[in-house]
Amino acid sequence: MPAFLPPLAGSSLFGAAVVAVAALRAPPDELATRLKAKEPEERVAAVEQVRRDGHKDAEKLLLDALDDRDWEVMERAAAALAERGTVAGCGAALSKLAVGGPIRRVRVAAAQALAKLDPAGTAELLSKATRSAPLEAVCEGLAAVAATVGEPVRAGLETGLIAKEPRTRAVAAAGLHAFGATERAGHLVTCLGDDELIVGAAALDSATRHPDAGLLPPLLGVLARKQLHEVFERRVINAIEATLAAAGDGERAALAARVFDAAQLATEDQALTRFARLLGRLGTRRTGADGAAGTALIDAATAMTWLEPVVKRGTENALDRLGYVATGHGSPRLRSIALRGLVEAGGGDAEKWRSSALKLVGDADGDVREDAAVALGRPGIDGAVAALVPLLKDKEWPVAVAAAVSLGKTQDAAALAPLLELAKHKEWKLAGAALVGLGHLKRKEAVPALIAGLGEKSPTLKLTAFEFLRRMTRDKVPAKESSWKSWWAKAEAAYAFPDPDEAAKQQQKYGYSPSAYGVYEDLDVLVFQSRGDHIEKLLDSLKIVHRKTRGGQVVESGVSPLGIYVANCTGECGPDDLEQVQWAVHAGGYLFSSCHALTHHAALVRPGFVRSIDQSRIIDLVTAEPCLESPYLTGAFDGLARPKYALDGPHLIDVIDHERVEVLIDSPECATRHRGGNMAVWWTVGHGLILDSVNHFDLQGFGRAPPMKEPAERMAYAIDVLGLSYADLRDVPRGAWQSQQKAAEEVRDLSAFRFITNFVRQRRKSGA
């Protein structure tokens, strides 16, 4: 009998053997193989599949992925372990990664995964780590899980709150929502008294992101102080607004009443103004369009009684009172603010502000008349053309320019004749405004006048006419009067302006373009070259088409009210050059300025809104933070990257008119060191807009970064500070990380450029 006989088919031994043989012949585990793939994108996809579908060795596979050389794989693996791991199996690895991971994204993902697996255990692990790991990293992890873990992380955070390093105290303050209301309020007050403003700012940001009605009394108390730095004021108002928004309907009314009572008890003028701003914001956010009227009621001493309906009821009565301020208040500034508030509140419903705007075209103050003229520049406003035509002869040219542009934006046939007459004016600013109006009018009868504009002596008028004409066709017609006459002779009979739906599609094409190039495509961008900043280098690297000019050449370059004008630091220019920029902005152009150009361009185009805090001897690098939620900040801050702005003898921004200027980005760190903390602000001027930023665009990035020894440090800086995505990081040539100089040459910091691009994006989406 043979020593070995195959088992009988159907027996258990036979089945086991078949499985064993099959296992030997089966291909390796496909998912495990993909987790070792060469391409990081493939490994990321494999991690996500394990998270989504599971795997018999899920925890082991994901633990291996925590050691991946690609940081995105590490981050995704940490997040996946929250669903597919166990504390016993992966707790040690995650806790190690939470305090020692290479970048903030990975550390936070590891801490949050631990918190999901074992909240109490996570707190213990991270709190114990305060004895061995860097305290800032531990507090960062504790703050990241404070919302889900709560009480167990308090001991570790308290250790951080008394640390010697300000940044550690600030990181710990970001987790104050782990404490109960009483303790949290006490810590909040302590943090606000810290010499380093970053600590109090972090505590207030925690109060905004994690509102608690128990914090309302100390927040109101802070707002009532005699002195309060503006970086705190903004955050206190944000926190109070968030507190009321998070409250239930019944509780919200009671809290709003407490806010109003506190406002009435305020005695200091500055505190009264702060409460007025707060009450206006509450009206805007709580009650919808009607409540937006509250944003205009700023002069607390005279307007406090008008604010009550905004906070307590938000009814039409608020708009009625606001209309009274717009047309009856003794302060021109308040009339301007009130009218702007009415237009914002009314939105598309012109009846909410039409009567006020029609009255204010005859106001004694030029700013108010210009605001009224701009408000009337839209289709379908009864009486708009009749009200705007007299303003074409206004004694102040910005008013006449605004009126001409608005006449065109009414798209009313009655606007054609006065605009054609104005186009013959000897004053170039008025003739140019007529061309802008005729361009917006979108009527065939206006086209010959636009074509005639190509024959003007002024390069600005030629450019203005051409910018409107070239938008009429996809044909590439040269900017010559004779060429366009020939084109129009052939096209006129069958020509039709794009209907509103088609025009909207074109606007969306540019406004929603995924790339910066697409947003700027086919847009006139004029860069004023100077001695400091050089944004043209950045535009060159991004392949964004632009023109260049400099002092003494702006007149011959021409400035388009449909385009973007960028003034580099230092930005000095003569009065003739500046006049071109002023006109273009009032007629609808966008001016972006950096650093010293605030003084030499932005503040001169429209004085009285901002001024500079001259810090010409300062060289510094400061962390920038968003002040509010805004579409202009989309993609500029992701909540994890912390951009740093390079200050090179900056002209920091001092806001004069807080109600008509919006601060988008500030820096509590800069405010502590250098008095001013405003990093980026914007405001409207006529039909146009000005945006100013304190930083130099060509100094952002590795050129001014702290010295780093290892490539991994530079890569981490690119993610944590410059805000590069993982895909961006992979696109950087590997050799660029070998030295700081090479990194500076290859890696661009687009953190500031992103919010500038958002202004262009919003403009193109709106068709402005």
CA distance 24 to 117: 36
pLDDT class for 7, splitting at 50, 70, 90?
Answer: very low
pTM: 0.88
Find out whether 571 and 596 touch, Cβ atoms under 8 Å.
Answer: yes
Number of H helices, E strands in the chain: 41, 12
According to DSSP H, which parts of 442-574 are helical? 447-453, 459-470, 481-491, 500-511, 516-520, 535-541, 554-557
pLDDT class for 143, splitting at 50, 70, 90?
Answer: very high
Residue 12, Cβ density class (10 Å: 0-12 exposed, 13-18 middle, ≥19 buried): exposed
| Residue 745, beta-bridge partner list | none
Give me the mean pLDDT over the 145-154 stretch: 92
Per-residue pLDDT for 8 more than 70?
no
- Helical (H) or strand (E) element with 430: helix 428-441
Query: Tell me: the pLDDT tens digits for 493-505?
Result: 999 997 766 666 6
Taking the alpha carbons at both ends of the chain, their separation in whole angstroms is: 97
The full set of domains in the chain, from first to last, is 34-198 (1.25.10.10), 361-497 (1.25.10.10), 523-700+749-766 (3.40.50.880), 703-746 (no CATH)
**Cβ within 8 Å of residue 272, ≥6 positions away:** 263, 266, 300, 301, 304
pLDDT value of residue 604: 94
Per the prediction, the chain carries an average pLDDT of 87
Give me the mean pLDDT over the 274-298 stretch: 53
**Cβ within 8 Å of residue 650, ≥6 positions away:** 595, 596, 615, 618, 694, 695
pLDDT class for 317, splitting at 50, 70, 90?
Answer: low
Per-residue pLDDT for 26 more than 70?
no
Give me the mean pLDDT over the 231-241 stretch: 95
Higher pLDDT, 15 or 229: 229
Find out whether 309 and 321 touch, Cβ atoms under 8 Å.
Answer: yes
The mean-pLDDT minimum among 121-135, 278-292, 747-761 falls in 278-292
Give me the mean pLDDT over the 692-706 stretch: 88
